Amino acid sequence: MPRRSSAATTIDPPRAPDAPRVYGNSAFVVGEPLPGVLYLDDLAAILELRRTRAYELQATNEFKQFELRPRIGNVARYSGRKVQAWLEGEDATEAPRYFAGARR
């Protein structure tokens, strides 16, 4: 069950048989932007993971590249923009600032 503050609880799941494609078990439609902030339950639904597996991956910092900092309390929040880029096959990691001058 998603947390009450989760973005997944604010979206009605598709009910029609010809419903648009969604990411994993989530209610997020492919091709539409993800919400700006995702929680672990949202990320687990997108990646079709069980909650326990998602917590294991979070504990081993596997989702670190998507995490928004600073944490508020002890709750990890994830960037919807970074997750969307990763799902679309783009590189979710940012280039270090000291290489920016070399591109000019």
- CATH number of the domain that 44 lies in? 1.10.10
Please say whether the beta carbons of 63 and 57 come within 8 A: yes
C-alpha–C-alpha distance, residues 70 and 97, integer Å: 20
User: What are the tens digits of pLDDT across the range 66-90?
Assistant: 999 888 888 899 999 999 988 888 7
Q: Hey, is 53 helix, strand or coil? A: helix
Total structural domains within the chain = 1
Give 31's contacts (C-beta < 8 A, 6+ positions apart): 20, 21
Task: Answer whether residue 46 is part of any domain.
Answer: yes
Task: Answer whether residue 16 is part of any domain.
Answer: no
User: What are the tens digits of pLDDT across the range 23-39?
Assistant: 888 888 888 888 999 99
pTM for this entry: 0.67
Task: Answer whether residue 13 is part of any domain.
Answer: no
Task: Answer whether residue 44 is part of any domain.
Answer: yes
75: containing domain:
22-93
